Amino acid sequence: MITRFTFVALYLALASGFSIASPDVTSFDSTRAFEHDFYVQSNLEFTLLHELAHAVIELNDIPVLGGQEQAADQIALMLLIMADDSHNKDINPVVLNKLLAISGEWMIEWKNEKKDHQPVYWDTHPLAIQRFYEVTCLIYGSNPDKLESLRKESMLPVERAWDCDIEFEQTRRALAWLVTKVSDYKFNKSWKLIKSKDSKQLFSGRIKVVWIQPNNQEDQRIYTKLKTFNHLASVLTKLNDLLNLKNYITIYLEPFCRTPDAWWDGTKNNITVCYDLIKDFEKNSLLLPDLVKQLKSGIRN
């Protein structure tokens, strides 16, 4: 059970970011993570990578030990980390801000879980607070020396931080194995992707996006905003180059959902991302800084 003190300490660490206690990251500005569009895009990118991980696991019959939801989280997080060269032991402000934005979203979700109803312990998804610690552990494990501030600022208890470098290496090796099974690439000794074969012509599948036209002004605003997210198109282009797919995977941006959600449907090879989920990201990008201020005020009092 997480205590109120730990919960507050985590939020204070989230607010201060990675700019304290390590000279290697003194120039890092964590406020970027809470910029409206950056926050939304980061969480949307993770959501898509998570659902695409489900698709890759299922379509390629990838064996999974443990829960598939956690495996999909780890694949998505490692793709985010390694795409930004953190595996080369560089402190990359882009990936740190992305992970901070994703962590912030999970902290908000955890608070809402506790406020609105009891957490659902039987669900296949880990609890939001567990997902918060998972992303923090993986990024810390990628470079414990330069990211010691994560542990010192109470974002990561020492009991978990102790083995995070081992968890990172295990997850990275698993990702390296997965890449050889679903693409023509492999990681070299420096953890750079290199092409190892040329069989792309045997795989006609691609990832494509279908934008469903909304019928009200608010959803039209979301529709227009999503189309301006150029980085999303760049991510999908890179994935199409990387993955060998026998079938098309269609991503539907859907304004007519009943809940703020996203899911993979293996019967249709479709991923659905609901506009209401984007609206939740938008709302939380505004909510989190104010909540941090409230918690700081509460501590002083």
Contact criterion met (CB below 8 Å) for 141 and 165: yes
The answer to whether residue 187 scores a pLDDT higher than 70 is yes
The values of phi and psi at residue 244, to 5°, are -95, 110
For residue 113, the tally of other CB atoms under 10 A from its CB is 15
The answer to whether residue 297 scores a pLDDT higher than 70 is no
The SS3 of residue 117 is: coil
Q: How confident is the model at residue 58 (pLDDT cuts 50, 70, 90)?
A: very high
DSSP 186: E
**Whole-model pTM?**
0.85
The SS3 of residue 94 is: helix
Contact criterion met (CB below 8 Å) for 88 and 191: yes
Q: Which residues pair with 207 in a beta bridge?
A: 249
The answer to whether residue 15 scores a pLDDT higher than 50 is no
The answer to whether residue 292 scores a pLDDT higher than 90 is no
The answer to whether residue 296 scores a pLDDT higher than 70 is no
Report the alpha-carbon distance of residue 260 to residue 249 in Å, rounded.
Answer: 21
Lowest-confidence region among 17-31, 61-75, 151-165 = 17-31
